[in-house]
Amino acid sequence: MTTNRAVDVSVDAMIEDLRALVEAESPSHDVEALTASARVVAAIVEKRLGGQAVLVDGEAGPHVHWSGGGEPRVLVLGHHDTVFPLGTLHLRPFRAEGGYATGPGVFDMLGGLVQAVHGLASLDDLTGVELLVTADEEVGSPTSRALIEERARACGAVLVVEGAAEGGALKTGRKGCGTFRVAIRGRASHAGLEPAAGVNALIEAAHQVLDIASLSRPALGTTVTPTVASAGTVANTVPAQATVLVDVRVASVEEAKRVESAFVVLEPHLAGADISVSGNIGRPPMPESASAELFAVAQALLPGIEGVSVGGGSDGNFTAALGVPTLDGLGAVGGGAHADHEYVVIDAMAERAHLIAGLVHTRQHA
């Protein structure tokens, strides 16, 4: 691997950039905050890599795209939106002490972005390298998916800098995932005077929850989990409306089709009730075959590193579904994604930055 020792990986510099990203605060759906965050990302990229980082406008906020020029060979993919609302930083400020970096979004996935940028900066030649940092991954990537797929096809290989799995393992496979919303319409009536005159949407929802849960096939890696339910308005009225939200995870395209088809044909149990369903399995499964080639390179660069399949989804699901070689989990070693105890292991940052650099260098010369 050829590195530029004049701009070698510095943990102190990575911590400096990580602090800047965390302190920008970048909750999904907050376009103003994400615009400010994108500018911070772009400034760091330009400072460390040179060239121009382009802000690609989108309804969810700007995505950041940078290219080292030449024929595209590898796409480094991440996101700068986080799940934490504005003000979380005040409650949980960025800290780097005792071997850990903490703060909102530090593991998912700002630490991975910093490692990627500094890893790339250690290479003498960045020809053929592209970096794409999106603004809406945490909410399903509705405005960035087309751009992600376009650049993945052009580059022919994707390195996703989402946080590592437990113990620092890479993510060699992911389940497909999606959310469904089941809306139930009944008919209101007085719960004491004439309950039989109503159509109880809450009772219908209870029937639907049991039907929906029965769609799970754990042996095949399929989980169908009702997660949020709401119904009714006041205690003495038969509820006319109810909703159920359902989380779905699948390990195969066949199971995705089966589950989606089952939601389409859900039928009410109560006479007079009506059901409507929205949603789908928006992220297709990422099979382990998609990562095999790149994972073998990672093992050669960092002997002993492990790979695991995980239930969570990422933008790597989209690129793998295109048949583009994709390796995920190359970001920070740590844990607590989406939780108050989120952290990054500082001592692992340089090693992960060098791993990304090695993968990029190998792909450039493949």
- Cα–Cα distance measured from residue 134 to residue 233, given in angstroms and rounded to the nearest whole number: 39
Dump the DSSP string for 41-90: HHHHHHHHH-S-PEEE--TT--EEEEE--SS--EEEEEE--BSPPTTHHH
- Cα–Cα distance measured from residue 144 to residue 148, given in angstroms and rounded to the nearest whole number: 6
Residue 252 DSSP class: S
Judge whether 247 and 227 are in contact, CB under 8 Å.
yes
Judge whether 137 and 79 are in contact, CB under 8 Å.
yes
Phi, psi of 155 (to 5 degrees): -85, -35
Assigned token pair, 176? 């497909």
> Strand pairing of 100-102 and 343-345?
antiparallel
Q: Which of 137, 255, 328, 342 is catalytic?
A: 137
User: Between the CA of residue 330 and those of 48, 326, 342, what are the distances in Å?
Assistant: 19, 11, 17
Q: How far apart are the first and last CA of the chain?
A: 13
Assigned token pair, 170? 């890479």
137 is catalytic: yes
Q: 231-270 b/e with 16+ CB inside 10 Å = b?
A: bbeeeeebbbbbebebebbbbbeebbeebbeebeebebee
User: Between the CA of residue 313 and those of 139, 237, 288, what are the distances in Å?
Assistant: 11, 41, 13
Q: Could you tell me which residues come within 8 angstroms of residue 130 by beta carbon, excluding any fewer than 6 positions away? A: 65, 66, 67, 68, 72, 74, 75, 76, 151, 154, 155
125 is catalytic: no
Q: Specify the amino acid at residue 118.
A: H
Q: Which of 17, 25, 30, 81 is catalytic?
A: 81
Active site residues: 81, 137
